[in-house]
Amino acid sequence: MPDYVVRVRPNDKDAKMKYQECNKIVKQKAFERAIASDEIKKSVVDSLDIENMTIEDDYVGPKLEDGNVTVKFMEEMMEWFKDQKKLHRKCAYQTEKITICGDTHGQFYDLLNIFKLNGLPSESNPYLFNGDFVDRGSFSVEVILTLFGFKLLYPNDFHLLRGNHETDNMNQMYGFEGEVKAKYTAQMFQLFSEVFQWLPLAQCINNKVLIMHGGLFSEDGITLDDLRKIERNRQPPDSGPMCDLLWSDPQPQSGRSISKRGVSCQFGPDVTERFLEQNKLDYIVRSHEVKAEGYEVTHSGKCVTVFSAPNYCDQMGNKGAYIHLRGADLKPEFHQFTAVPHPNVKPMAYANTLMQLGMM
């Protein structure tokens, strides 16, 4: 080692020069390690451009189907590996997507159309439905039984969040209670009511995106831990974080204002920014509002609304939409669709009589 040579031969200029050079390199490396620990380390995923990777014409191995892993793909991949062949790098890098759907509001035939367009739920095609499955549309029983069936079939890959219409008072007014009683029994409605109370209020994906039906809160300082502590097995209160998650709406101006709905609040882009910064999130996805294009991006891209009931109540003329989240950055990809025909049963057919009059 240079320092040993210097000690043994203190008058050797060559040894002393090599020692000084070596010492300089060691200090430089130590300095680089020190400053590296203070920097945010980027994931290797950030440097990948998977979308623009091309699969060459001469590659005849297994390929993902629309970016999804399927049973067929897995079988072909295992056979491919048995022959000691290499999977194409695009397939090796590519990650699954999750599909986020907004309000479906008892529009069963439009729900079937979503599955036709985007594929049935499966372990390789996960979904999240963001509340308001029932009420208004007159096929709410069919919608909720279909959604519950997929939840039972794929408990880890099919997710349901509670909306403001998964509550007793809304179901009494807007048709679901009347529909269940007409098609089944009052006891069946009570069972649905109990199940709705256990639905999650929000879901966080990859510590980047928070999804809830309504929106953010009437006060600052709410954390993800606060949300985890909410006692959800109940009818929602008239105020507080649980109410806000189900009822609040974004507004273009800063600050907060009284909600046009008479419940919870409207929150501005500054509120969104502070919440995301405190909880180290990238953006929120919410539903709760009909949008002409089926979706809307506000608050400088930090607040995304998705609504999946096209031609809402057979009269709004809006498109529906769902969102794909995929990759390291979970950048939302929007997919629009239009309404499909349904049997001649009008929306609100089972609603409270006063609400039916309001629909005329």
By CB atoms closer than 10 A (0-12, 13-18, 19+), residue 225 is: exposed
Q: Is 288 a catalytic residue?
A: no
Residue 8 neighbours by CB under 8 Å, 6+ apart: none
Q: 294, 90 in Cβ contact below 8 A?
A: no
Tell me which residue of 201, 224, 205 sits closest to 214, measured CA to CA.
201
Distance CA 301, CA 309 (A): 23
- Strand locations in the chain (E): 97-101, 127-129, 158-160, 202-205, 209-212, 249-250, 256-258, 265-267, 283-286, 295-298, 303-306, 320-326, 331-337
Distance CA 98, CA 121 (A): 10
Distance CA 321, CA 335 (A): 5
The tokens describing 216, both together, are 């953010």
* Sheet order of strands, 256-258 included: 249-250, 265-267, 256-258
By CB atoms closer than 10 A (0-12, 13-18, 19+), residue 64 is: middle
Q: Which of 105, 159, 165, 288 is an active site residue? A: 165
Angle at alpha carbon of residue 210, lines to 218 and 252, rounded to 5°: 50
In three-state secondary structure terms, 282 is: coil
Distance CA 201, CA 173 (A): 22
Distance CA 187, CA 198 (A): 18
In order of 61, 67, 99, 283, the CA distances from 95 in angstroms are 18, 7, 13, 20
Q: Which residues are catalytic?
A: 165
